[in-house]
Structure 1
Amino acid sequence: MSLVSNTSLTSGQRRDRLAAFRVPVTVALSFAVIAIVIAWSLAPQFFTTHSPVVGVPADKLLGPSLSHWFGTDHLGRDLYTRVVYGTASSVSSALVAVVIGVLFGGLIGLLAGFLGGWVDVVFARLVDVLLSIPKFLLAVIVVTAIGFETINAAIATGVSAIAFFARVTRSEVIKTRQATFVEASFLSGGSRWYILTRHVLPNASRSVLPLAVLQFGESILIIASLAFLGYGDPPPASDWGLLISIGKDYLKWPWLVYAPAFVTIVTVLSVNRISRWLRKTD
């Protein structure tokens, strides 16, 4: 009897473990999209043989076809090639923005939540000021102050995300600091640094990961919007937002807008789906 129960328990544990590793179809498709985007950004020359800068005047404004998947622009350049080569700038700048938000926002939230007292009050007021300004407006203000380049747009986007990471990290740190195992570590003689690095930080960072993934998608949108308004690198750069901005002047050839917009939307939706899945996954 005990052998049967142990066997059934082992089988149940195996099923639970398999269920934990099971990924929904939509999440798997989202990971596939992100993998393609990352591959484009790392090695664009493996995905197209055309030049992103030099076009063929005789081929200008051609519609999508087997030769030109996304059509061609007003200078005869292959639009698919320009989208692929523009991925590196869009992805890298979004990563820079996320890193800035995580590092500075996480540090502010960690210190405010763990130290408390006047430190918490000062940082809380700073976060309230940042949250009172719309993220896109704050990004425009920062990029206007430091210069019109894609890397500056990434820095501006990261600055606009600091307050959100700070608030989430602070709330998680306060919740973790009040946990029983943290109090037990204090009573056992653990130092503040030991408790911060071994207990508080690992537990608080679990909620930051889904937010970082979500911020990555939002950063792509904000940076593309800044490039659309002319706050990014000038032509012949091929940032996704810049491609949409150029395409809007040629509305008779809608693929000039639809192609880069479609890639941007699919990428952001995929990132958002992965973020939602991570929030539900322990």
Structure 2
Amino acid sequence: MTFASNLTLSASTRNSWAEALRMPAIVALSFVVVATIIAWSVAPQLFTTYSPVIGVPADKLLGPSTAHWFGTDHLGRDLYARVVYGTASSVSSALVAVVIGVLAGGFIGLLAGFLGGWVDVVLARLVDVLLSIPKFLLAVIVVTAIGFETINAAIATGVSAVAIFARVTRAEVIKTRQATFVEAAFLSGGSRWYILWRHVLPNASRSVLPLAVLQFGESILVIASLAFLGYGDPPPASDWGLLISIGKDYLKWPWLVYAPAFITILTVLSVNRISRWLRKTD
């Protein structure tokens, strides 16, 4: 390859990266929101000086103000502090759910799509059974069986997501397995497992990343819903769903519901918008 060809290739690579990094303003804003949420979960003490569990009884049920951005609850606790400290539980639980879904579902889809035959038939029927059960109902069944805790709610949410990851991975593996470069690798003497890990898996995983991002947002909703129903950690925990559940008993002070609900919705919408952008970006 000549020096001019190297320059042309380098320029095209830089242009492709520039096009990938050029994103709409709404996507950039979504990344800012998600980065803020992650910062809240990693170092909540940097964003508030109030305690999430200790309140001032004389300050109970105060409306939003410069002193208390989201107001205070019925025990005088700063609601903004409780939302910020509750982020770690919500985000980490959603990540656990996504990891379970990606690893278990991806493994099932990889085996079914690559091996084919009776393995594909058996695993495909298993996935069909899981898909026939509503995801939230399956999550409720699993969390009821293993116990009422936030980590168990995350495991239950991850189990409910296994089927969709398995179905998508299987479809991508079958499409990749029929590609010309995979057939060439077989003809050149590559072993089945080498081709699986070296060629099929990297190419089939391209569609999994946007799905994983989308599932992260959905997992936040499912885990918040389970916490709302009482399947998460009990008070004084400050999971977003639990905060909404507590706030519904104080309808005269609507910020108790609006604040955690707004943060939950904003986070999920931002994650969904990033997922849509990733699907359109090669």
Structure 1 length-normalised TM:
0.95
Give the aligned residue type for 2:181: F
Deviates more, 1:248-257 or 1:17-26: 17-26
RMSD: 1.6
Which whole-Å CA distance do the structure 2 matches of 1:178 and 1:10 have between them?
31
Give the aligned residue type for 2:34: I
Partner of 2:277: 277
Partner of 2:22: 22
The Cα shift of 1:129 comes to 0.2
Residues 1:152 and 2:152 are matched in the alignment: yes
> Matches of residues 126-145 of structure 1 in structure 2 within 5 Å?
126-145=126-145
The Cα shift of 1:17 comes to 4.7
> Matches of residues 1-282 of structure 1 in structure 2 within 5 Å?
17-282=17-282
Return closer, same or farther for 1:42/1:17 CA change in 2, 3 Å cut-off. Answer: closer
Partner of 2:4: none
- Post-superposition Cα deviations, 1:210-263, rounded to whole Å, max 9, x if no partner, equal 000000000000000000000000000000000000000000000000000000
Which whole-Å CA distance do the structure 2 matches of 1:264 and 1:197 have between them?
37
Question: Which sections of structure 1, spanning at least 5 residues, go unmatched?
Answer: 1-6
Structure 2 length-normalised TM:
0.95
Secondary structure class of the residue paired with 1:145: helix
Which whole-Å CA distance do the structure 2 matches of 1:174 and 1:110 have between them?
9
Return closer, same or farther for 1:8/1:184 CA change in 2, 3 Å cut-off. Answer: closer
Give the aligned residue type for 1:56: V
Which whole-Å CA distance do the structure 1 matches of 2:11 and 2:41 have between them?
43
Question: Which sections of structure 2, spanning at least 5 residues, go unmatched?
Answer: 1-6
Which whole-Å CA distance do the structure 2 matches of 1:13 and 1:245 have between them?
51
- Post-superposition Cα deviations, 1:62-105, rounded to whole Å, max 9, x if no partner, equal 00000000000000000000000000000000000000000000
Give the aligned residue type for 1:40: W
Indicate the percent of aligned positions where both proteins have the same amino acid: 87
- Post-superposition Cα deviations, 1:105-156, rounded to whole Å, max 9, x if no partner, equal 0000000000000000000000000000000000000000000000000000
Aligned length: 276
Return structure 1 stretches of 4+ with deviation > 4 angstroms.
7-17
Which whole-Å CA distance do the structure 1 matches of 2:40 and 2:8 have between them?
47
Give the aligned residue type for 2:237: A
Give the aligned residue type for 1:159: V
Which whole-Å CA distance do the structure 2 matches of 1:22 and 1:160 have between them?
35
Return closer, same or farther for 1:250/1:186 CA change in 2, 3 Å cut-off. Answer: same
The Cα shift of 1:23 comes to 1.4
Which whole-Å CA distance do the structure 2 matches of 1:44 and 1:149 have between them?
22
Secondary structure class of the residue paired with 2:75: coil
Secondary structure class of the residue paired with 1:260: helix
Give the aligned residue type for 2:230: G
Give the aligned residue type for 1:246: I
Return closer, same or farther for 1:17/1:219 CA change in 2, 3 Å cut-off. Answer: closer
